[in-house]
Amino acid sequence: MRKCILPIAMTIIISIFLSGCIDVKHFNVYEISPPKESKVEIMGTWEVETFIPAEDNNSKTSISYVENAYFGENIASFNNETVSHPEYKIKYVDLQEHILNKYKIKNIEYFENIKSVEVIQISCEDKVFYELLKIEENKIAICFNDGFYILNRISNSIPNDIAVEEKKSNNEKKFSMEDVKPSTTLKESGVLLGLKHLNEQGVNVYRTIWISQNDNVFGKMYEINSILVPRLNGFYSVDVRRLEEKEVTKDVIISKQLSANTTTPMKIPSDENNIERNILFVGNNYISTSVTKYDKNHSPMGMYYEVVPVDNTFIGEGIRLSFIDGENGKKQFSESVEAFLKRNNGIDKDKVVVDDSCFAVERKNGNWRLKGGIKTENGLGSFDINGFPPKVMLNYDDLYIPWSYIKTKFPNATDAYTSPNNKMLIIITDKYIELYSIENNELKDEANLKIPLNNNEKVIMSEWATGSYVSRWEETSKHLGKELEQ
């Protein structure tokens, strides 16, 4: 009898441990790479339902609307950010512990009755893109803007235009430098890169870097302490000056033609509120800005976009997209507003103010793009405009090497530019402007030169010169600036 007890006990113990393994294995991380449509459970289009602020986020004006999210086999997109060929890693976690440990957030009432969830981490080139918390089959949460956006799946597929980008992304993966055909007729090229960064006092500081190349050899580089804008009637100097009057501060854009003997008198806005202006883009003819107003107690009142002419920055109101680009601009803006409101059906349309002067130009994935905004009861609702800046705003903006290839070869790249003769590649990272020569269809692994950047410095202008204009622009840069060490 005793001989039977031990085998039976061991059987019971083993069965207990085996039954425990059934649940434990679900907490291991496993990878889907590459994801297939039938296997990726988040495949499709997701619409923002609401925003859940963190416990200590009491701001009611900082919440901004985000675009729909799209997740596919070769593309993942959220908040106007897109990655190609994403990798999906999945794990199961205790939700409350995960939010506390990962995001340092606790006591989110929306999640209080949810025990464990599936966490889907999206990455590209070994860098995390976003992390999704799968609340239900068709409901996910994404941590962003000091809180969580709750999204609902509205389709198991992605729109045609996104699908085209996905297909394009898949094709670009096969790109090689043999596809680049540098011009042999234009040996010289140069660029004026306009830059901005916040100084220790929280004020934007602007500068311009001149970079040139002749027959694959980089020339002397110069730094100018303002934005140097080349125009048909000569060079202009653009900067932002902060004025104080009766305890009120106002940022004004100062634009001066360098060859003119007269100075345009400054016009201080009559608005009694504090005004902060941030330059987003500078072209030959127009300056794109974001404007934030604060009351006398420096509490935010709202933000909007504004575009002003280079030669008349005190115009008083922003230029309309329809004025710059006619019926095409008007149509692009209205269709983009309609699509934005459709995606964000929680917005009270009766309280929306639509004005096509509220648009901007911003840098995204190696190109300048149009961005629009509308005034809602919760602040500015911003969205992508389906189109590129018209020629009157931007003469040249071709990236001959696809952005997806650049991100593969240079994972730290945040932006990139190629010269009109396809012989110069400029890579922007968090710390440097890196200069590469393209010679005989070959791109070196090591940069020819590196120019240090200030903390969080961004490019706001890229004006290119070829031929005889290179020496003319270089002389002006040399006269106005100082030579950079190489």
State the DSSP string of 374-389.
Answer: EEETTEEEEEE-SS--
- 395 and 284 Cβ atoms separated by less than 8 Å: yes
The structure tokens listed for 244 are 């104080």
Question: What integer pLDDT is reported at residue 41 of this predicted model?
Answer: 80
Per-residue confidence (pLDDT) for residue 377, from 0 to 100? 84
- Residue 172, classed as helix, strand or coil, is helix
The H-or-E segment that residue 337 falls in is helix 321-343
> Residues 57, 62, 63, 68: is their CA dihedral positive or negative?
negative
How many other CB atoms are there within 10 angstroms of residue 471's CB atom? 14
Residues paired with 282 in a beta bridge: 287
Token pair of 337, please?
A: 């507003």
CA distance 298 to 433: 36
Q: Report the half-sphere exposure of 273 (CA within 13 A, side-chain side).
A: 14
Question: Which pLDDT does position 3 carry in this prediction?
Answer: 41
CA distance 458 to 430: 9
* pTM higher than the cut 0.75: no
pLDDT of residue 101: 79
> Of 7, 28, 31, which is closest to residue 89 (Cα–Cα)?
31
Give the three-state DSSP class for 208.
strand
Picking from 101, 158, 99, 106, the residue whose alpha carbon sits closest to that of residue 133 is 99
- Asked whether the bond before 34 is cis by omega within 30 degrees of 0, the reply is yes
pLDDT attached to residue 26? 32
- What pLDDT score does 110 carry? 86
Tens digit of pLDDT at every position of the chain (486 positions):
434 444 444 444 434 333 333 233 333 333 333 333 335 588 899 988 888 887 654 443 334 556 788 998 888 888 767 777 888 888 888 888 888 877 777 778 888 888 888 899 888 766 678 889 999 999 999 987 678 889 999 988 887 666 555 445 444 445 666 665 555 467 899 999 999 999 988 889 999 999 999 988 999 999 999 999 999 889 999 999 988 877 888 899 999 999 876 666 666 666 778 999 999 999 999 999 999 998 888 788 889 999 999 999 988 789 999 999 999 999 999 988 988 888 887 888 888 889 999 999 999 888 999 999 999 888 888 888 877 899 899 988 988 888 888 888 898 999 999 999 889 999 999 999 999 998 877 887 789 999 999 999 999 999 999 988 999 999 999 999 999 988
- In this structure, the number of other CB atoms found within 10 A of the CB of residue 345 comes to 10
How many other C-beta atoms are found inside a 10 Å radius of the C-beta of residue 277?
A: 20
Which residue type, as a one-letter code, is found at position 15?
Answer: S
Q: How far is CA 257 from CA 79, 110, 262, 310, 311, in A?
A: 39, 57, 9, 9, 8
Q: How far is CA 104 from the centre of its chain?
A: 25
- What is the token pair recorded at 460? 């706001």
What gap in Å lies between CA 93 and CA 26, rounded to an integer?
A: 9
Q: Quote the pLDDT of residue 440.
A: 76
Would you say the C-alpha torsion 297, 298, 304, 308 has a positive or negative sign? Answer: positive
